[in-house]
Chain A
Amino acid sequence: MRYRWFTIVSLFILWGALVAGCSPAPSSTSANTPPATARTPAPTRYYDVAPPPATATARAPSPAPAAVGGIKLTILHTNDSRGYVDPCG
């Protein structure tokens, strides 16, 4: 009966040791590295106007070439008047 009680206690201790050994051993640098969950949160961004979807401008049709300058020009022209100074014809 005494041996039986001893065996149960020994098995319990052994189980505890095995469970503890399954945890990964800390590395030598782990003390200086913040844990992954300790990142500084990104600052909140505020927009005056909601940014447009990234694809909006790419999908917009490019404007057709237009009269950018819009400068008017009139050309008055003659040709082959062959020295006529008076009405003819």
Chain B
Amino acid sequence: MPKGGVARRATKIKAIRSEAQHPVLVLDAGDTLFGQMLALQSEGRVIVEAMNAMGYDAMAVGQIDLAKGVDTLQARAKEARFAILSCNLVDAQSQQPIFQPYTILERGGVRFGVIGVTEPEALQAPGVREAAQVLDPVGAVKKYLAEIKGQSDVLIVLSHLGVERDRALAQAIPEIALIIGGRSRKLMPAPDIVGNTVITQMGYDGEWLGRLDVTLDAQGRVHDPQSTVIELGPDVADDARLKALVDSYKERFAQPTTEATQ
């Protein structure tokens, strides 16, 4: 039975947000913008527009997000109403981050510092090796740690490193409260706990929406993590707005372009 789709995901996100009496963050750990035909044809615009509509707060840069090159992702980052993050993907010449390294999200009086990390394999994306370098994630996160801690109460890492590297990151930097991960494409009904750090990720291809409920103490530490796998099956209704958005892109790219007819 087919699962997933942005229209079903939007229905669930909207429902959970409206029911919650506390802060809700919507995050993505990367490898999100490209892969399927409509996403490639629109150069990622359909995904960014859908994520804008769903109210995403931030995403990390993964290898697939660079499939159309650094310039294309930079263009999408300007259109996104959420932060596209990587602290360790740096310009080959200047050694400065190509994308925003971190963002501070304030919800309900709590400041969440969210930092993005990209896997070393991102250099295999076309044209990226010539333009960029991927720095060691531990060193890159540590570089911004003091800066973020001065502005936030809770440190969250959006990681496209994979679960094993996420564990190593948590061991190296115990100040990290949460790692929302990707790349391993693991469906994790229960989160991993490394020291005081909670690590999770939620499958692949948008078939599930992960829900992680935690309680935070005054030191920004996480207690009582509860993970829920939300399967986006046929019982979840489509959100009309997102369905119309996707349909509009399908119509646009189903028509032959002017260039193609010449």
- A interface vs B, CB < 8 Å? 65-89
Contact = CB atoms under 8 A, between A and B. Distances in A.
A70 B181 contact: no
Interface of B: 1-6, 8-9, 12-13, 16, 20-36, 38-40, 44, 46-47, 50, 62, 64, 107-108, 110, 154, 156, 160, 178, 180-183, 185, 200-219, 223-224, 232, 234, 246, 249
A81 B32 contact: yes
Contacts of B36: 82-85
Main secondary structure of the interface of A (DSSP, over half): loop
A82 B185 CA distance: 11
A88 B46 CA distance: 17
A79 B26 CA distance: 11
Contacts of B46: 85
Given A74-B213, A79-B31, A84 B182 contact: no
A65 B24 CA distance: 25
Output the residue of A69, A70, A74, A86 with the most chain B CB within 10 A: A74
A76 B230 CA distance: 10
A82 B156 CA distance: 22
Contact of A82 (B24, B205, B224): B205
Contact of B2 (A76, A81, A88): A88
Given A68-B218, A70-B217, A76-B16, 14 more contacts: A71-B23, A73-B107, A74-B213, A75-B210, A76-B13, A77-B200, A77-B211, A79-B30, A79-B31, A79-B201, A81-B4, A82-B205, A87-B232, A89-B4
